[in-house]
Amino acid sequence: MATMITDVCINCGACEPECPNGAISQGEEIFVIEPSLCTECVGFEHRESCAAVCPVDCCLPDPRIVETEDALLSRAKALHPDVVFPDPPPSRFRRAPER
C-alpha cells in the first residue's frame, strides 16, 4: 500500500524531509503523498519514516493501494538506481532486528 496523509494533518511539515523518495509535498490544504513515488520506505527503514515522525499519527497505509514488498522494493530500486539495497532490505513487512 502507499502511505496516505489523513485530514487530521496539522501541516507541521515534519514528514516532508524524512521521505527518501521525495513523495511528500504540500497540498492545497494538507501535506500529500504521491503514491507513484511512495515505497513505504521499503529498502530504507522498517517503518514508514513519515509515520515515525508524525506528531498526530496521520500517516497511514492507504487501503485503496495495496502493494507487495517486492513491488515496493522494485520501485525503490528504480527511483534510486545508485543505491545498493541490503538483502533482505529493511521493510515494514518484517521485524526490525533487536539491538
The pLDDT confidence band at residue 44, using thresholds 50, 70 and 90, is very high
Strands 31-33 and 59-61, by their bridges, are unpaired
pLDDT at residue number 2: 86
What are the chain's domains? 3-79 (3.30.70.20)
- SS3 letters across 77-94: HHHCCCCCCCCCCCCCCC
The values of phi and psi at residue 86, to 5°, are: -70, 160
Among all chains, which residue has been given the C-alpha cell 529493511?
90
Interval 60-98: pLDDT, tens: 999 999 999 999 999 999 999 999 999 999 999 987 666
Whether the model clears a pTM of 0.95, i.e. scores above it, the answer is: no
Q: Tell me if the bond preceding 17 is cis, omega within 30° of 0.
A: no
Residue among 32, 31, 28 at smallest CA distance from 11: 31
Mean pLDDT of 16-38: 97
